[in-house]
Amino acid sequence: MNSIAKPLVSVIVPTYERVASVERLLNALNRQSMPAKNYEVIVVVDGSNDGTLELVGRSQVPFSLTTIGQENKGRAAACNRGIKSAQGDLVILLDDDMEPSPQLLEAHWSYHQGHPRLGVLGAVPICLEPSSPPVLQFVGNKFNQHLDKVSHSGSLLSLRDFYSGNFSIERKVINEVGLFDERFTVYGNEDLELFWRLQQAGVRLVFSVEASVTQHYDKTYASLAKDNIDKGKTSILLARLHPEVISDIKLSTYQQESLKWRLFRESLLGLSRIWKSVPQLVIRFVSWMEKRRPALLPTLYRFTLDYFYWLGVRQAGS
């Protein structure tokens, strides 16, 4: 750790098995318009064995850089370790696959001046290239359209609009409200649970186009399927903790698809209870279809990922 005076801003980066992404993120944080003496970076390595600890340890940067290693406990626990170690008045959470713009830290900082109970959600456009895999094109186009909608919604941001990668809040406020709930140990919904408590505590959420990062999304369809299963499981946990949020999350949308799709989905879910190999067969089929890139591939992604979400819901509820 490079010793400097107490910083204004603490950047928290939870990471797992993404050493190259962490290196790219640190390089971008080295190009900030905010003076290096004003911010610290805390990288929390959540059980990685890919050399991330060593990379951060040997990095030569002008800002204060701390690395914390822990056994694999999930993103919520990793974020909490970083926040507890933070010294800055403002905490900014960044995911490890993000590449901050040069003005990121100053943009977040400026929003909070004179507004103590504020949460700032920065833009996170997903980087897309013509050569990007079809699943990345699907996820990226969907999320980038969502960002465009959020950017025009003013202060009318809902629970499902929230994400905690590229999010800033005063350290004293998040400590007052309580940190992430560490019962969320797998992917999804730890951020929505936190946002619900922030809302109840009177924290106002705003969206900032200026506080932007580029997200280098690199997940395969198989890993995306697993994430959706986990998101279904953690939706049940969120609903049990806060039943009042059910109407605002995907858990309330089961009947919203067409009758044909609902019947097909219910059949798949029923088969999955009988034959445990059904999810893997679906992944293999979609992966096979990806190589052929039919026009219906985006529709296939949407329906099968929806199936995996509800599979997670059923598994958590059984």
Strand partners, 307: none
Cα–Cα nearest to 22, from 63, 57, 56: 56
Q: Do 69 and 169 fall within a single domain? A: yes
The two structure tokens encoding residue 138: 């699907």
pTM: 0.94
Q: Do 242 and 166 fall within a single domain? A: no
State pLDDT tens for residues 290-307: 999 899 999 999 999 999
Q: Do 183 and 141 fall within a single domain? A: yes
Cα–Cα nearest to 61, from 80, 91, 37, 79: 37
189: left (phi over 0), alpha (psi -120 to 50) or beta: left
Is residue 59 within 8 Å of residue 180, measured between CB atoms? no
CA-CA distance, 135 to 132, in Å (whole number)? 8
Is residue 74 within 8 Å of residue 50, measured between CB atoms? no
Q: Do 168 and 35 fall within a single domain? A: yes
SS3 65: strand
- Judged against a pLDDT cut of 80, whether residue 137 lies above it is answered with yes
Q: Do 110 and 14 fall within a single domain? A: yes
Q: Which residue pairs from 124-129 have beta carbons closer than 8 angstroms and sit at least 24 positions apart in sequence?
A: 124/98, 124/163, 124/165, 124/166, 124/212, 124/213, 124/215, 125/212, 125/214, 125/215, 126/214, 126/215, 126/217, 127/99, 127/214, 127/215, 127/216, 127/217
Q: Do 174 and 304 fall within a single domain? A: no
State pLDDT tens for residues 241-293: 999 999 999 999 999 999 999 999 999 999 999 999 999 999 999 999 999 98
Q: Is the dihedral of CA 310, 315, 317, 318 positive or negative?
A: positive
pLDDT attached to residue 2: 46
Q: Is the dihedral of CA 281, 287, 288, 292 positive or negative?
A: positive
Residue where one domain finishes, among candidates 218, 247, 281: 218
| Stretch 145-161: mean pLDDT | 81
- Judged against a pLDDT cut of 70, whether residue 122 lies above it is answered with yes
CA-CA distance, 298 to 106, in Å (whole number)? 38
State pLDDT tens for residues 22-35: 999 999 999 999 99
Q: Is the dihedral of CA 152, 91, 95, 279 positive or negative?
A: negative
Residue where one domain finishes, among candidates 218, 233, 253: 218
H helix or E strand, kind and range, residue 138: helix 134-151
Residue type, 94: L
Q: Do 91 and 213 fall within a single domain? A: yes
CA-CA distance, 51 to 36, in Å (whole number)? 25
Q: Do 64 and 212 fall within a single domain? A: yes
Which residue range is the domain that position 32 belongs to?
9-218
Give me the number of domains the chain comprises.
Answer: 2
Q: Do 165 and 256 fall within a single domain? A: no
Q: Residue 226: how many CB atoms within 10 A of its CB? A: 18
pLDDT attached to residue 158: 81
Looking at the domain assignment, is residue 248 inside a domain? yes
Cα–Cα nearest to 105, from 33, 12, 26, 164: 33
CATH number of the domain residue 181 falls in: 3.90.550.10
Q: Do 93 and 150 fall within a single domain? A: yes
Looking at the domain assignment, is residue 107 inside a domain? yes
Quote the mean pLDDT of the chain.
95
Task: Specify the length of the chain in residues.
Answer: 318
Residue where one domain finishes, among candidates 180, 200, 218: 218
Q: Do 100 and 17 fall within a single domain? A: yes
Is residue 128 within 8 Å of residue 136, measured between CB atoms? yes
How large a percentage of the chain has pLDDT more than 90?
A: 92
The residue to which tokens 């309330």 are assigned: 252
The two structure tokens encoding residue 19: 């050493």
pLDDT attached to residue 242: 97
pLDDT band at 142 (very low <50, low <70, confident <90, very high): very high
CA distances from 141 to 161, 217, 271 (A): 16, 12, 31
State pLDDT tens for residues 68-89: 999 999 999 999 999 999 999 9
CA-CA distance, 147 to 122, in Å (whole number)? 10
The angle, 0 to 180 degrees and rounded to 10, between the axes of the packed helices 259-274 and 297-317 is: 50
pLDDT attached to residue 244: 96
Looking at the domain assignment, is residue 119 inside a domain? yes
- Judged against a pLDDT cut of 50, whether residue 3 lies above it is answered with no
The residue to which tokens 């909070």 are assigned: 112
- Judged against a pLDDT cut of 80, whether residue 163 lies above it is answered with yes
pLDDT attached to residue 151: 83
